[in-house]
Amino acid sequence: MLDLNESEEFTALRSAVRSFALAELAPQVDEYDRADRFHEYLWPKLGEMGFMGVMVPESEGGLGLGYSAHTVILEEMARVSAAVAMSYGVHSSLVMDQLRKNGTDDQRRRYYPKLLSGEMIAAIAMTEAEAGSDLVGMRTTATKKGTRWVLNGNKLWITNSANADLVMVYAKSDPSAGKRGITTFLVEKSFGGMTVGRKLDLFGMRASGSAELVFENCEVPEENVIGEVNGGVSVLMGGLDYERVIAAAQCIGIMQAAMDLVLPYVHERKQFGQPIGEFQLMQGKMADMYTQLNAGRAYVRAAASAADRGRLTRKDAASVYLFAAENATQVALQAMQALGANGYSNEFSAQRLVRDAKLFEIGGGTAEVRRMLIGRELYREFG
């Protein structure tokens, strides 16, 4: 690794996550990918290690370490399984960090203990079949009836949803108000009216428990509204920039996994009487992979540090994610190419890295949307 002057605390954290991932996750990763099986057994183990609470204050049972520490955990987890890292990131960041920022004291008292221990698995439900990048176009509705809200509609591409006990749901509470008419709800599986629809047969990230969620007269108590009524877009946008930094860290893990695969292979594989790593073209490939990895890791570290200091800008959140995602795909493809026919075989992990990496150019706002956002912000700032 490039020496980024990590603190002793972060070095120890990285080592702990690496050891955990190799012992608890690595033996099953390919089997679970092939079977499209969710790693439900990991959740209590992650809770025991304290990883679930990396963003939660110590006063509320967490580690209180911030975004930089979270990127370390996600990088090392994605180095073994990007699917598990994504599922963990949804639980520990998208849901628990939103609870930290926008939840009430009562909501945190009710849900933090089970989320921290891994007893509960959390998901976040925003996207729909006709509402991807255009989230304001969602059709799921929330109608107030007395002290309860009634949700109806369908959500799609929801990570963890096939196994989730608690889902943070965005729904139209005032359909006539556009983006000012969306509210965020905490919906427990035990409430009834929320069911898992079709399970998605994904190209990559196959162990992430992604499925459709169906809401049919799902009743949610009013005390489970997150933030203000009709203020869901503020809740969403307040977390989206940080989500992109978290996702970028997972891309770094994929790039590191590609290096972990290629470097031993080019020593062991021989052609024309010598290791293929001695050929200049192969050395050039390794050099490109190494450069892209280190540039991405340094950018993620800088963005996470800015997030910890409250200085992260929207354009840099989109930019670090854009850079990391596109390079993760390219580095994974380079690893596949370096392995030749073996890279195309399911017996090696190169194909899984390629499949997993590609999602990051699509999810969390497509690469095209990120470019549009960055360009628009730059134009406004310096025009």
**Domain-embedded: residue 317:** yes
pLDDT tens digits, the chain, 383 residues: what are they?
788 888 999 999 999 999 999 999 999 999 999 999 999 999 999 999 999 999 999 999 999 999 999 999 999 999 999 999 999 999 999 999 999 999 999 999 999 999 999 999 999 999 998 887 777 789 999 999 999 999 999 999 999 999 999 999 999 999 888 889 999 999 999 999 999 999 889 999 999 999 999 999 999 999 999 999 999 998 988 888 999 999 999 999 999 999 999 999 999 999 999 999 999 999 999 999 999 999 999 999 999 999 999 999 999 999 999 999 999 999 999 999 999 999 999 999 999 999 999 999 999 889 999 999 999 999 999 87
Answer yes or no: is 35 within a domain: yes
- In-domain check, residue 337: yes
Output the six-digit token pair for 24.
Answer: 């608890």
Domain extent for 350: 233-382
Looking at the domain assignment, is residue 29 inside a domain?
A: yes
- The answer on 225 and 173 residing in a single domain is yes
User: Do residues 275 and 340 share a domain?
Assistant: yes
Q: Are residues 171 and 101 in the same domain?
A: no
In angstroms, how far apart are the furthest CA atoms of the chain? 79
Asked which of 230, 248, 273 is the last residue of a domain, the reply is 230
What single DSSP character describes residue 93?
Answer: I
2 is a domain residue: no
Could you tell me if 300 and 221 lie in one domain? Answer: no
Determine the Cα–Cα distance for residues 222 and 225; give it in Å rounded to an integer: 6
User: Is the same domain home to 111 and 14?
Assistant: yes
Q: How many whole angstroms separate alpha carbon 220 and alpha carbon 150? A: 6
Contact present, 192 and 346 (Cβ < 8 Å): no
Q: Residue 172: which H helix or E strand, with range?
A: strand 166-172
Whether 247 and 212 map to the same domain: the answer is no
Last residue of a domain, one of 188, 207, 230: 230
Rounded to the nearest 5°, which phi and psi values hold at 106?
Answer: -65, -45
pTM, entire model: 0.95
Tell me, yes or no, whether 1 lies in a domain.
no
Q: Is 243 considered catalytic here? A: yes
**Inside any domain, residue 349:** yes
* Beta-carbon contacts of residue 47 (< 8 Å; ≥ 6 apart): 116, 117, 118, 119
Do residue 302 and residue 174 come from a single domain?
A: no
221 and 251 belong to one structural domain = no
Q: Single out the residue in 163, 197, 230 at which a domain terminates.
A: 230
**CB distance 182 to 172 below 8 Å:** yes
Domain count, the chain: 3
Would 302 be classed as within a structural domain?
A: yes
Q: Long-range pairs for 138-146 at CB < 8 Å and ≥24 separation?
A: 138/170, 138/171, 138/172, 138/182, 139/172, 140/169, 140/170, 140/171, 140/172, 140/215, 141/171, 141/172, 141/173, 141/175, 142/171, 142/172, 142/173, 142/183, 142/185, 142/220, 143/173, 144/173, 144/222, 145/219
Q: Verify that 308 and 356 share a domain, yes or no.
A: yes
Whole-angstrom Cα distance, residue 323 to residue 236?
22
State the CB neighbour count (10 A cutoff) for residue 311: 10
CATH of the domain at 193: 2.40.110.10
Among candidate residues 188, 243, 326, 361, the one labeled active-site is: 243
Instruction: Give the CATH number of the domain where residue 259 resides.
Output: 1.20.140.10
Query: Could you tell me if 29 and 81 are in contact, meaning their C-beta atoms sit under 8 angstroms apart?
Result: yes
370 and 260 within one domain: yes
Half-sphere exposure of 365 (CA within 13 A, CB side): 25
Q: Are residues 57 and 138 in the same domain?
A: no
Please give the torsion angle defined by the CA atoms of residues 73, 332, 361 and 91, in that order, rounded to the nearest 10 degrees. -20
Residues 360 and 219 in one domain: no
Tell me, what amino acid is at 180? R
